[in-house]
Structure 1
Amino acid sequence: MADAAAMIDVLAGEEGYRAAVDTPPPPLRIALVWRTPLGRPPMAAEHRRAVADTADRLRDLGHRVTEADLPLGARPWPQFMTRYLRGVADDVARLPHPEWLEPRTRRLAGAGARVPDRTLAWARTAEAGLHALMVGFFAEHDLILQPGWVRRPSRIGRYHGSGIATTLAAVGTHIPYFPTWNVMGYPVAAVPVGFDQVGMPIGVQLIGPTGSERLLLSLSGQYERAHPWTDRRPAL
């Protein structure tokens, strides 16, 4: 956490992030949110257990952790897909040699190029409505706790040669908790909390409202001191 915070000090051009890691937070109201915009997804038992254990550990540190649902419903999902597809198309259009890309990436860019400007404008404008819905939620909760990946990441090359729909559907089932925060733009801390049965790390997300970076670093630093992990190294 200290490394991440020091990097933010440099990138932001202001101090205070690194110091926040060493400053314990006050008792916080943390919402444990299991549902995504598309419902509660299937999750590997060891990942679910890691999130529940993290909630208990945060309670042991003096924080109040209660289960809650976000007031957003399914709204973030179409906004995410609109911005994701069009974003790929816009990025590819700026490349000097798009022919060097994998065929799947070129097809994905082609699909995104069919997203009209008015639809992209709708997605960007609708973001304000999502923020408005979260005002009341963050009046009752300081931060959010959610899973990161819901199962072990796929092996390299697992989707090589697969089509757009197959790849997006398969990858999406692994990371259903990420798109909401890609749309909202809230600060998120990805915190290692354990390891699965083959030694791969398991993480959770801590999410806060706009401007809560220092609070997230403070809580993450407190958690890391209570449950250190940096001495864990894979065997050579």
Structure 2
Amino acid sequence: MNTSKPIDVPIVSSPALPGEDVCWLTITELTDGYRAGTLSPVDVAKALIDRIRALDPVVNSVVHLDETYTLAMAEQSMARWRLGTPLSAMDGVPVTIKDLSAVAGMPKRRGSLLFGTDPVQEDTPCVARLREAGAVFLAKTATPEAGCKVVTRSQVHGATANPYDLTKTPGGSSGGAAAALALGFGPVALGSDGAGSIRIPAAYTNLFGIKPGFGRVPAFPPDIDMPHSVVGPLARTVEDAAIMLDVISRPEPRDPYIWPVPFTAPDDLGNPSLAGMQIAFSARLGCHAPLVDAETDRLVAEAAPLLAEAGASVSEEDPVWPVDPFEPFKVFWETACLSCVEGAAPDKRHLLDPLILSVGASGANVSLSGYMKAMEQRMTIAAASKAFFQRYDLLVGPVMPVPPYSVERDVPVGYASEDWDWCPYTYPWNMTGQPAASVPIGFTEGGLPVGVQIIGRMGGEADILRAARAIEARRPLYRRRPAMLG
């Protein structure tokens, strides 16, 4: 934890790796064990803490680990299970939390030199919902400063590596959450997504991750990134993500945008039928794509016949955008970075990530009329998407244009760190506010994971989960562990 860079040699794997007997269990398998008395939340937490201490120095995914804090939560859960009074389907389940969300009693550094190690006093609403459900907070995971990069690297915590190839990035900004999950640090992780930050690392680390629609998961206090940024789960299985989403989407009275209609996890994820579902497949999602990778394209295209096999009607059609989504997104990206700069004390601004300072300087040149034009463009993009989804339940296409690239770089070779133009497939759905997910679809010949993106209409999380589970059932790639684990 808190190492300056990932170790560039893999550990020697053995059957005696800490926590190996419990780290791959699903939420249901864990709680079944608690109910039967064959597992204890305390023993599971201890095993996973040992696993983090043994494995995390290889990838640098964990930024805060407090054994006393975690075991106190686990002991409370164990007492409830012994009395037969668990709080929810997640009571005693270990969860990691991205260090952009506040956890009372833990620091919230946001990957920034601006913030110290003093604990905060109040949970973020989604964290409060997990605490109310009896979840056990295992650790906080790495993020770039303010979630500002497509990779996970900060001046505070260094770089996080991809467990499937330690020379590659796990993506960002929820890359710490993803790397931790891929190594078995609990069954689920809390991430956030303002431009792809759940879906990108999920695609790069063989995980399922879903960005809920804006308003599905409560937030407070209001954030400058609203409505683009939302909180959501990453998991190794679709069902685990659904269980966690059910918990974190429970209401928060202070959030003015939270939906009055509760989310309920689908009860047919064991064997979902997609009969009657209309799905569009698009190889480019209607976006300008300067980078193309034949292996990625081939694997993403394999999702279409799997969905058809599950009963869906699948057609090839691209959404048509009234304006390149990158145009307004660039304005929001630059002005969000400017807000970070202006929110820092003048004598502390030099401590900000150079990328934030550089992009924020561009944001200072955005006029009020330019920002309002971007708002208008975003609304026309959302309207075009809504029209497209009048005819389709889901849209399926790529998450990333290329497989995971060097852990030493913020972006692929040939692009500047502040340039999002190479990576166009995720941020449109942050601007429309629609739910979108990444589900594993395959591996390159070099052993690197590839994900396929599933986008739904507003309120369509359940349809996304069903389609993702249909792919997962036909291609259970969650069973493929990183080679470093043996």
Spell out, residue by residue over 1:150-198, the C-alpha distance to the aligned partner (whole angstroms, 9 max, x if none).
11222112259x99x72244x632x221232122121001111111122
* Alpha-carbon separation, structure 2, partners of 1:23 and 1:180: 31
1:200-211 equivalences in 2 (<5 Å)? 200-211=448-459
SS of equivalent residue, structure 2 residue 280: strand
Instruction: State, as a whole percentage, how many aligned pairs show the same letter.
Output: 29
CA RMSD of aligned residues (A): 2.5
Q: Tell me which residue corresponds to 1:215.
A: 463
Q: Tell me which residue corresponds to 1:31.
A: 280
Q: Check conservation: 1:5, 1:21, Cα contact below 8 A.
A: no
Q: Which amino acid aligns with 1:216?
A: I
| Cα pair distance change 1:107/1:178, threshold 3 Å | same
Structure with the largest fraction of helix? 1
Q: Bigger CA drift: 196-205 or 33-42? A: 33-42
SS of equivalent residue, structure 1 residue 34: coil
Unaligned runs of 5+ in 2: 1-237, 251-261
Q: Which amino acid aligns with 1:11?
A: I
SS of equivalent residue, structure 2 residue 402: coil
Spell out, residue by residue over 1:45-74, the C-alpha distance to the aligned partner (whole angstroms, 9 max, x if none).
111110111112111222121111212143
The answer to whether 1:115 aligns with 2:352 is no
Unaligned runs of 5+ in 1: none
Spell out, residue by residue over 1:87-138, the C-alpha distance to the aligned partner (whole angstroms, 9 max, x if none).
1111232245332223333111111122123322332233332232233321
Q: Which amino acid aligns with 1:104?
A: L
* Alpha-carbon separation, structure 2, partners of 1:90 and 1:189: 28
1:176-191 equivalences in 2 (<5 Å)? 176-191=424-439
SS of equivalent residue, structure 1 residue 105: helix
Larger radius of gyration: 2
The answer to whether 1:66 aligns with 2:315 is yes
* Alpha-carbon separation, structure 2, partners of 1:220 and 1:207: 10
Shift of 1:38: 4.7
* Alpha-carbon separation, structure 2, partners of 1:232 and 1:132: 40
Q: Check conservation: 1:79, 1:123, Cα contact below 8 A.
A: yes
* Alpha-carbon separation, structure 1, partners of 2:332 and 2:301: 32
Q: Tell me which residue corresponds to 1:87.
A: 336
Calculate the TM-score normalised by the size of structure 1: 0.86
Q: Tell me which residue corresponds to 2:300.
A: 51
Q: Which amino acid aligns with 1:138?
A: F
* Alpha-carbon separation, structure 2, partners of 1:119 and 1:146: 31
| Cα pair distance change 1:8/1:152, threshold 3 Å | same
Q: Tell me which residue corresponds to 1:166.
A: 416
* Alpha-carbon separation, structure 2, partners of 1:18 and 1:204: 21
Spell out, residue by residue over 1:9-68, the C-alpha distance to the aligned partner (whole angstroms, 9 max, x if none).
121115512646446243221111123555354421111110111112111222121111
| Cα pair distance change 1:37/1:218, threshold 3 Å | closer
Q: Tell me which residue corresponds to 1:10.
A: 247
SS of equivalent residue, structure 2 residue 390: helix
Q: Which amino acid aligns with 1:71?
A: V
Calculate the TM-score normalised by the size of structure 2: 0.44
